[in-house]
Structure 1
């Protein structure tokens, strides 16, 4: 039996290394990803397009797990997701739900405050134009 909590921690570690091969390998081909309150993505191709087209230009990541809990194949995380953009760090508070099937992430939902994200992006994008 696969330890779902460890799979999610490994996935977060891949994000911290920005190892996109490992990130995408952790997901099921038919993954459902919803970065709430944005529109959901269905399938690995849509998820790749979402991240490739995000325009964030991140060259660093640090996802800090404050709490993690697992119930069978469902894993809940309370995190601070940090990304380095234009030499500045943004930080977003996130609650995440991961549902695992056959050792892969089949469903992934992250809940965050869109205004907080937009304010952080405006701050670092303004730093780039200053």
Structure 2
């Protein structure tokens, strides 16, 4: 059975799957440290909001598939495939994520992914009319 930290992360992933941005941001601490490695990190909830709102992805669907999850105290590790629907087509990015929970919120979040894979997926769907 999962502990409280793992439940917070699983609920967060489900919020992404529903594109429920109110729940997504509510799960994060106001002073969250978010690093979408290899990109530049964001510090604070407003910086994270600006990052997602300014990404230009225009996603109208999401499906984060958790392949493996491991929890040690307040730290939760995930191996995922994050899928986003853009221009009626899906992109899929392999991701390893680390979440540190403090005070019932995500205080630190680091995702590790291959930037070239992301860029290739985006190039594939930009201008695509159908999935």
**Unaligned residue ranges in structure 1 (runs of 5+):** none
The question of 1:122 aligning with 2:113 is answered no
The correspondence of residues 1-130 of structure 1 with structure 2, limited to 5 A, is: 3-128=4-129
Moved over 4 A (4+): none
State the alpha-carbon separation in 2 of the partners of residues 16 and 56 from structure 1.
Answer: 16
Distance 2:113 2:92 in 1: 11
How many residues matched? 127
Q: Which runs of 5+ in 2 are unaligned?
A: none
**How far apart, in 2, do the equivalents of 1:63 and 1:127 lie?**
22
TM-score normalized by the length of structure 1: 0.96
**How much has 1:127 moved relative to structure 2?**
1.7
- Distance in 2, matches of 1:54 and 1:64, equals 21
Conservation of the 8 A alpha-carbon contact between 2:29 and 2:106: yes
| Contact 2:87 2:127 survives alignment (8 Å) | no
- TM-score norm. by structure 2 comes to 0.95
